[in-house]
């Protein structure tokens, strides 16, 4: 399924090259609507040394900013009420934010433009002193960084590989099938080949007119590499090296929305600003990539026609029909906003569409973050020096004919190239700017930097609150920016001469609607708690036993011997899948499976997500009690000792009345009541 002459591109860090022109139309949004936690250090005087190794707040958010090149004479004034940027009452020169761009690779051009617009200081060859921000083109591990912020999370590349993403989404589908039906039904081969065959046979038997098509995608592939369509499980190319290069097989969405008879997909940029607390932003405009042959539903005759079925730019650029756009509304790569305008003119409810897309993005991130946290604590254990992280992700979304968005994949390293190759004369190529890419990608990078700006003061004045609230009521995508807000900002802050932010916060903004989905996240917190040794990602048998014991999960009908058997069975099976042989032990997905088993044993009659939620409540309740007991013990206050009958870590007896305030009994008691209500 590969057209001739496809240029190989770096894959795992999925890259995808460029295209043509466009204008966004977006609402004004205060640049610090939700001040980043790292901005809280603003009261710290400019030269305050950075305490390496103290990363308040863990994954992603609360790293202290390095103060580079700020004024002298400010030591020892921590806690002063003086504002940052003032020295001895005089206004100080605003220190530039420093950015190391030496590893930016193909995102370098867009990054340079962004830095020029922000008037930040670029270090294209790196710097001996630490920088505020490190911009990596490919992965977190491009450098040894001990402070500042880096634009990659450890483990993200692994997490968004086709197999890992499918597994993570499937776990969520097991718990919340309705909520996660935006991802096509998928099977991981070779291990699930028999399941694939059996399920397809069953579905065909129960629905004889169903004539499915499947899309086969090699794990770790990108840009359409190695992808092909089949009509029947027996058409899988098993003869190849399936064992060494596993694949994901997916139900093919055969009725996509077409524009000008062409299939297209959407590339949306999503900023994961912080993992803990979770903060997600979505770019208000993205790219639409079009096929170059008119679409027809798959038949045996057209299955191999890549220019009809695959929307990858890297493939379609080789089609004679590819059109480099010279305006926003035409061509093979357009802005998403131009597509939205077109749809809205045909009466499509754009607000509903956006709301579905936002929901898809939040749910997908919720599926990815539990394991990301495992990677994070392994790479940057709490208390050790390390940077905080943020990351721009590329979401590839297909719209079905009925306008339902479907997730195709997530890219950890979406292409940020803003130029494309053009053949001037036969064999002579030149890089030419791509206005569409520049328009979208520079805004995404620049505004990501603005949101991550370590020097930015908290702006909690009423004006910004007001404008944030008022902006919520507008149609985000179709309203032009407010000039009033812009003028107000320019007079206060030179950065305000920039356009309003193209990134819109969606989490925690809409957290209330989605928090009930965070069960795997809570399981991951339990898993991490029992990992024990810093830097590991797998739970040993002792850790698992301690988890069972501390959460009071074993009893006469579930002995510790059964616990060991459960551990061995599940761990062995996961490890035999050969995903990650670096460490032995139980990975998070295996732990989740074990947790499901335990939940099903205990709460037989409930639906799975209620079983799991009940067991999590039960575990958290017992761990909260344990923590409180340990707190009491570690304080070792003599007068309280009298109230304690015994005081051993796991066998403590407390007198509730005496310790009520200390034990924060309400939470624990409420949890117990909830738990009992559930059981009764
Ligand atoms: P790659 O990383 O190689 O680009 P994708 O998963 O993005 O792999 O798939 C490549 C292209 O195949 C997509 O851009 C889309 O056009 C098409 N495609 C992928 N999955 C499906 C699907 N389930 N249904 C319909 N088309 C799909």
Residue minimizing CA distance to atom 17 of ligand 1: 310
Report, in this order, helix, strand and coil percent for the chain, each rounded to 5. 40, 15, 45
- CB atoms under 10 Å from CB of 473, counted, come to 8
223 lines ligand 1 (CB under 6 A): yes
Output the CA–CA distances (angstroms, integers) from residue 340 to 102, 262, 265, 353, 642, in the order listed: 37, 15, 13, 9, 70
220 C-alpha to center of ligand 1: Å? 13
User: What pLDDT score was predicted for residue 429?
Assistant: 80
Ligand 1 centroid vs 308 CA: distance in angstroms? 12
How many alpha carbons fall within 13 Å on the CB side of residue 564? Answer: 4
In the three-class reduction of DSSP (H, G, I as helix; E, B as strand; rest coil), residue 526 is classed as helix
Query: Which ligand 1 atom sits closest to the C-alpha of 162?
Result: 6
- Give the per-residue pLDDT at 84: 37
Contact 278, 435 (CB under 8 A): no
Residue 268 has which token pair?
A: 């949306």
CA of 116 relative to ligand 1 center, distance in Å: 36
Q: Is residue 133 within 8 Å of residue 99, measured between CB atoms?
A: yes
Q: Which residues of the chain have pLDDT under 70?
A: 1-94, 142-143, 238-244, 326-329, 457-496, 578-582, 637-680
Specify the pLDDT at position 242: 58
Q: Whose CA is nearest to atom 22 of ligand 1?
A: 252
- Give the distance (Å) from ligand 1 centre to CA of residue 166: 13
Chain position carrying tokens 């924060």: 664
Q: What is the pLDDT of residue 94?
A: 63
pLDDT for 385? 80
Check if 215 has its Cβ closer than 6 Å to any atom of ligand 1: yes
Residues in the chain: 680
Nearest alpha carbon, ligand 1 atom 18: 310
Chain-centre distance of CA 661, in angstroms? Answer: 38
The per-residue pLDDT for 198 is 97
Of 229, 312, 319, 404, the residue with max ligand 1 atoms within 8 A of its CB, to mutate for a pocket test, comes to: 312
CA of 340 to the centre of ligand 1 (A): 21
Distance 229 CA to ligand 1 centre (A): 10
In angstroms, the CA 324 to CA 336 distance is 16
- Cβ-in-10-Å burial (0-12, 13-18, 19+) of 178 comes to exposed
CA–CA distance from 292 to each of 87, 252, 276, 311, 586 (Å)?
Answer: 60, 19, 42, 8, 46
- CB neighbours of residue 458 within 10 Å: 13
Average pLDDT, whole number, for the chain?
A: 79
Q: Which atom of ligand 1 is nearest to the CA of 291?
A: 16
pLDDT at 64: 36
Residue to probe by mutation, ligand 1, list 185, 217, 399, most atoms within 8 Å of CB: 217
Protein residue with least CA distance to atom 1, ligand 1: 222
- How far is C-alpha 90 from the geometric centre of its chain's CA atoms? 42
In short, whether 253's Cβ falls inside 6 Å of ligand 1 is yes
Q: Which one, of 355, 412, 370, lies nearest residue 171 by Cα?
A: 370
Task: For ligand 1, atom 20, name the residue with the nearest CA.
Answer: 408
| Contact 252 CB / ligand 1 (< 6 Å) | yes
Give the separation between CA 85 and CA 71, rounded to whole angstroms: 9
Q: State in Å: Cα 258 to ligand 1 middle.
A: 15
Atom of ligand 1 nearest to the CA of 263: 16
Q: Kindly give the distance from the C-alpha atom of residue 583 to the centroid of ligand 1, in angstroms, as a whole number.
A: 32
* Ligand 1 centroid – CA 398 distance (Å): 9
Give the CA radius of gyration of the chain. Answer: 27
Q: How far apart are CA 325 and CA 612, in angstroms?
A: 51
CA 165/CA 158 separation, integer angstroms: 9
Taking the model in full, what pTM does it have? 0.80
Q: Are 269 and 284 in contact (CB under 8 A)?
A: no
| Distance (Å, whole) CA 252 – CA 169 | 17
Phi, psi of 580 (to 5 degrees): -140, 100
Q: Are strands 419-425 and 258-259 parallel, antiparallel or unpaired?
A: unpaired
| Contact criterion met (CB below 8 Å) for 646 and 652 | yes
DSSP letter for each residue of 627-640:
HHHHHHHHH--HHH
Peptide bond into 671 cis (omega under 30): no
CB 671 within 8 Å of CB 620: yes
Q: Is the CB of 184 under 6 A from ligand 1?
A: yes
By most ligand atoms within 8 Å of CB, the mutation choice from 11, 164, 215 for ligand 1 is 215
Sign of CA dihedral 440, 441, 442, 446: positive
DSSP 413: S
Asked if 613 and 519 touch (Cβ cutoff 8 Å), the reply is yes
Is any ligand 1 atom within 6 A of the Cβ of residue 221?
Answer: yes
311 lines ligand 1 (CB under 6 A): yes
Q: Give the residue ranges of DSSP H helices in 404-482.
A: 435-452, 462-472
Element (H, E) at 419: strand 419-425
Question: Do residues 580 and 587 lie in contact, with contact meaning Cβ atoms separated by under 8 Å?
Answer: yes
Omega prior to 277 cis, within 30 of 0:
yes
């Amino acid at each position: 399924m590969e057209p001739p002459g496809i240029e190989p591109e770096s894959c795992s860090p999925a890259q995808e090259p460029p295209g043509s022109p466009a204008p966004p139309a977006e609402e004004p949004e205060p640049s610090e609507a939700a001040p980043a936690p790292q901005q809280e250090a603003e009261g710290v005087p400019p030269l305050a040394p950075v305490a390496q190794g103290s990363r308040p707040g863990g994954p992603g958010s609360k790293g202290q900013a390095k103060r580079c090149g700020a004024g002298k004479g400010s030591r020892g004034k921590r806690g002063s009420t003086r504002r940052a940027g003032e020295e001895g009452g005089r206004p100080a020169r605003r220190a530039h934010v420093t950015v190391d761009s030496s590893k930016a690779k193909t995102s370098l051009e867009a990054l340079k433009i962004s830095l020029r617009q922000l008037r930040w200081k670029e270090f294209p060859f790196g710097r001996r002193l630490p920088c505020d921000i490190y911009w990596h083109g490919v992965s977190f591990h491009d450098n040894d960084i001990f402070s500042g912020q880096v634009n990659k999370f450890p483990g993200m590349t692994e997490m968004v590989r086709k197999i890992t993403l499918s597994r993570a989404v499937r776990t969520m589908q097991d718990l919340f099938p309705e909520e996660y039906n935006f991802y096509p039904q998928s099977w991981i081969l070779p291990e699930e080949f028999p399941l694939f065959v059996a399920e397809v046979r069953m579905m065909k038997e129960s629905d004889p007119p169903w004539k499915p098509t499947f899309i086969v995608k090699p794990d770790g592939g990108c840009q359409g590499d190695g992808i092909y369509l089949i009509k029947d499980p027996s058409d899988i190319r098993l003869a190849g090296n399936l064992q060494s290069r596993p694949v994901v097989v997916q139900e093919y969405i055969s009725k996509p929305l077409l524009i000008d008879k062409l299939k297209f997909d959407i590339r949306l940029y999503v900023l994961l600003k912080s993992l803990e607390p979770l903060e997600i932003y979505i770019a208000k405009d993205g790219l639409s990539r079009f096929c170059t042959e008119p679409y027809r539903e798959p038949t045996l005759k057209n299955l191999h026609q890549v220019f009809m079925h695959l929307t990858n730019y890297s493939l379609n650029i080789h089609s004679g029909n590819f059109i480099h756009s010279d305006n926003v509304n035409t061509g093979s790569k357009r802005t998403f906003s131009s597509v939205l305008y077109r749809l809205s003119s045909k009466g499509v409810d754009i607000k509903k569409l956006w709301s579905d897309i936002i929901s898809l993005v939040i749910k997908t991130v919720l599926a990815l973050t539990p394991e990301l946290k495992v990677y994070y604590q392994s790479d940057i254990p709490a208390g050790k020096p390390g940077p905080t992280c943020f990351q721009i992700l590329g979401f590839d979304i297909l719209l079905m004919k009925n306008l339902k968005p479907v997730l195709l994949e997530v890219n950890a390293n979406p292409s940020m190239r803003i130029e494309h190759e053009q053949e001037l004369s036969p064999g002579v190529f030149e890089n030419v700017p791509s206005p569409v890419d520049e328009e979208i990608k520079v805004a995404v990078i620049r505004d990501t930097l603005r949101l991550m700006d370590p020097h930015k003061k908290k702006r909690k004045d009423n004006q910004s609150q007001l404008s944030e609230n008022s902006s919520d009521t507008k149609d985000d995508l179709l309203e032009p920016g407010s000039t009033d807000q812009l003028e107000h900002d320019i007079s206060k802050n030179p950065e305000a001469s920039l356009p309003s932010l193209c990134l819109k916060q969606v989490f925690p903004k809409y957290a209330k609607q989605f928090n009930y989905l965070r069960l795997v996240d809570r399981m991951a917190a339990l898993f991490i708690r029992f990992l024990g040794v810093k830097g590991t990602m797998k739970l040993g048998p002792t850790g698992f036993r301690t988890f069972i014991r501390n959460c009071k999960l074993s009893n006469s009908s579930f002995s510790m011997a059964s616990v060991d058997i459960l551990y061995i069975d599940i761990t062995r099976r996961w490890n035999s899948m050969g995903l990650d042989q670096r460490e032995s032990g139980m990975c998070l997905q295996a732990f989740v499976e074990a947790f499901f088993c335990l939940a099903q044993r205990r709460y037989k009659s409930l639906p799975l997500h209620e079983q799991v939620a009940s067991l999590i409540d039960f575990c958290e309740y017992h761990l909260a009690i344990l923590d409180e007991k340990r707190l009491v013990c570690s304080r070792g206050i003599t007068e309280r000792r009298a109230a304690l009958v015994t005081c051993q870590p796991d066998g403590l007896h407390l007198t509730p009345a005496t310790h009520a305030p200390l034990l924060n009994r309400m939470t624990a008691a409420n949890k117990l009541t909830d738990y009992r209500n559930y059981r009764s």
